[in-house]
Amino acid sequence: MASNDLENEVVLEVEDLRTYFSTRWGTVKAVDGVSFDLRRGETLGIVGESGCGKSVTMLSLMRLVPTPPGEIVSGKIVLQGQDILQLTEHEMSRVRGSQIALIIQDPMTSLNPVFSIGNQVNIPAAESRVKDYPHQLSGGMRQRVVGAIGISCEPAVLIADEPTTSLDVTIQAQYLKLLKDLQQQQNLALIFITHDFGVVAKMCDKVAVMYAGKIVEMGDVREIFNTPSHPYTEALLASVPKLEEDVDRLYAIEGQPPALHDLPPGCSFADRCPYVMDRCRDEYPPAFQTTGYLKAVDGISFQIQRGETLGIVGESGCGKSTTAKLLLMLEEPTEGRILFEGEDIHHTDSSHRPAYRSS
């Protein structure tokens, strides 16, 4: 593979992942048909209300779902070309940390209190504190130690579960910068699980919005923030306080997410949706009927000659950027061909790609 292809290669593909819990109330469909992919150097934010399945998605990716009562009932998690759901526990223990790693929310509980920092992190940056124990460090320092452990084996994918929740804003900003720098140095693919839209805006390229175990909308952060398609995304964004607006009451989405062991037929957001129609209670709206994929570019055809200039115009969110990414080979098409001088660029011998890109 040419170096450009390696830099942009897909490192993680999640396909129709389903993780259920068996409880005395019934089967809790915590993750119910989640699909996404992630390239080297890319950052995906996963957002959604409490209980929508973010943490169970993360545990599934690490294969750390408590079994029983939990079980990954179907799907694929292809990490660097290998479906980790097919690995034995022993094989998986070698993958954890070295290919996919996790930074969790509470650094105090993720560090072992009886080992000094030096025993937990073998990095020179900790030199002056190597003999300290976790309780001797500030919250920000502990979080940085946990981050350092996360990346110490240079994984391809790093998952950060609410990594900044317990930090004050200054330390938060420093910590995010540190993660960003490390990401650039190691070309890490990052997954941020967060409630904080500020973190998503600052750190992420893509965002996946989860509701009741499903990704209801996913795409480019700016496009989704500017023109959300799903009513839940719209409501979630409306509930973020805005500095420039002087309001007496903050907007909150009315009602509660449905119980995941007793999901209604149709759209699980129907009871809370301001645009609900009768048919939404029977069937999921066709526009969102995907397993996480939106049809960002849906059957376009055009030709361009040498020397010609083509303008592509349209409102935000209509698919212009995705078209450009497809042409630049930063995204793979689901179907269709892009012919450059008669050769399909996405299926050509990879040694020709740099020549295509430079022309």
Ligand X SMILES: Nc1ncnc2c1ncn2[C@@H]1O[C@H](COP(=O)(O)OP(=O)(O)OP(=O)(O)O)[C@@H](O)[C@H]1O
Provide the binding-site residues for ligand X, judged by CB under 6 A: 21, 23, 28, 30, 48, 50-56, 66, 69-70, 260
Closer residue to ligand X (CB): 68 or 311 = 68
Give the DSSP H or E segment for 231.
Answer: helix 231-238
User: Burial letters for 115-136: b for 16+ Cβ neighbours within 10 Å, e otherwise?
Assistant: ebbeebbeeeebeebbeebbee
Smallest gap from Cβ 56 to ligand X, in A, equals 4
Residue number with CB closer to ligand X (56 or 156): 56
Name the minimum Å distance from CB 19 to ligand X.
8
Q: How far apart are CA 318 and CA 310, in angstroms?
A: 17
Residue partners of 319: CB distance under 8 A and separation at least 6? 296, 297, 298, 300
Please, what is the minimum distance in Å from the beta carbon of residue 194 to ligand X? 9
Least distance from ligand X to the Cβ atom of residue 69, Å: 5
Comparing CB distances to ligand X, the nearer of 57 and 120 is: 57
Q: What minimum distance in Å lies between the beta carbon of 66 and ligand X?
A: 5
For residue 85, give Cα distances in angstroms to 73, 75, 76.
10, 8, 7
Rank residues 39 and 63 by Cβ distance to ligand X and give the closer one. Answer: 63
DSSP 302-318: ----TT--------TTS
The residue among 51 and 219 lying less far from ligand X, judged by its C-beta, is 51
Q: Measured from the CB of residue 161, what is the shortest distance to ligand X in angstroms?
A: 8
Give the residue with the Cβ less far from ligand X, 21 or 232.
Answer: 21
239 backbone dihedrals φ, ψ, rounded to 5°:
-85, 0
Q: How far apart are CA 300 and CA 313, in angstroms?
A: 14
Is 71 buried (19+), middle (13-18) or exposed (0-12) by CB count in 10 A? Answer: middle
* Closest CB 203 distance from ligand X, rounded Å: 17
Our CB check for ligand X shows the closer of 188 and 260 to be 260
Q: Say whether 282 sits in a helix, a strand or coil.
A: coil
Which DSSP helix (H) or strand (E) runs through 181? Answer: helix 169-186
> Which pair of structure tokens corresponds to residue 110?
């993720």
- Least distance in angstroms from the C-beta of 59 to ligand X: 8
Q: Among 83, 149, 80, which residue's Cα sits nearest to residue 118?
A: 149
Backbone angles phi, psi at 171, to 5 degrees: -65, -35
CA–CA separation, 120 and 98 (whole Å)? 16
70-79 vs 82-83, strand pairing mode? antiparallel
Closest to ligand X by CB, 61 vs 126, is: 61
